[in-house]
Amino acid sequence: MSEVVLYTDGACSGNPGPGGWGFILRHPQSGAEIQRSGGKPNTTNNQMELTAVIEGLKALNRPVTVEIISDSKYVLQGLSEWLHGWKQNGWKRKEKGKFMPIKNIELWRELDSLTQKHTITLTHVKGHTGNIDNERCDKLATNAILKYKH
């Protein structure tokens, strides 16, 4: 069982457009949890998904075992399948036979650095299917967007 569980979600109104992120970080043994959210006036959904995980990991004050639970296949596949190859290829990916810079490189580099400090497991949940904590993160993210909408 994980020492902590990190639920995350990101959202965008338009893509790009105003965006928000949210996370819930829970210590299952004690029941203690924190939740945070934030956003940006002009961003993308993928950037907000990445930011949610980054901010959740930044909230940890020591190395721990973390189960990251997300509905973002982009984030989970990036961490589990793509990241190693990107790093080996100088943070580039193959596109039509050529190496191209990866999108959101600054966020991926920060996420890579943060994940090195912890033992990470990844769990995918389908969004909007009744997972209470995923729904709470979605609400945190969508509410964060409101301060950027005019």
Q: Is 150 a catalytic residue?
A: no
Active-site residue (options: 20, 49, 56, 133): 49
Active-site residue (options: 55, 67, 71, 133): 71
Write the DSSP string, 50-73.
HHHHHHHHHT--S--EEEEEES-H
Q: Is 84 a catalytic residue?
A: no
Closest Cα to residue 9, out of 78, 73, 80, 103?
73
Q: Is 112 a catalytic residue?
A: no
Q: Is 128 a catalytic residue?
A: yes
Q: Is 138 a catalytic residue?
A: yes
Active-site residue (options: 14, 84, 95, 128): 128
Whether 20 and 139 have beta carbons less than 8 Å apart is answered as: no
Q: Is 9 a catalytic residue?
A: yes
Active-site residue (options: 55, 67, 133, 138): 138
Strand partners, 8: 23, 70
Catalytically active residues are 9-10, 49, 71, 128, 138
